[in-house]
Amino acid sequence: MSKHERYCKDYFPSGLCSVEKYSGNCNKGNMKFHCTKTCGKCPPRSCKNRFSDCSRIKYEGLCVKQPRLAKKYCARTCLLCD
């Protein structure tokens, strides 16, 4: 699995992601994290993490709680790329 594929996938079942997408929910709550691929929220290949343990940052909810720091150090994992 390439790095791009690792960040560009759905974590919810694809059927549920399709329902959420067609219901207009891709920009609500954490849908960009749960249905990244279906909602078209995959980070560009040029987007990088600067911290080695960004998965922990995401798991602890810091992507949402501390978005400025998350964007600086874990932009790819937190889907905060420009």
Average pLDDT over residues 10-19: 92
Q: Where are the domains of the chain?
A: 1-42, 45-82
Average pLDDT over residues 3-22: 85
* pLDDT on residue 8: 87
When pLDDT is cut at 50, 70 and 90, the band that residue 14 belongs to is confident
* pLDDT on residue 43: 86
List alpha helices for the chain, DSSP H: 3-7, 14-22, 31-34, 54-59, 62-65, 67-74
Q: What is the pTM of this model?
A: 0.69
Q: What is the pLDDT of residues 43-81, one digit of tens each?
A: 888 899 999 999 999 999 999 999 999 999 999 999 898
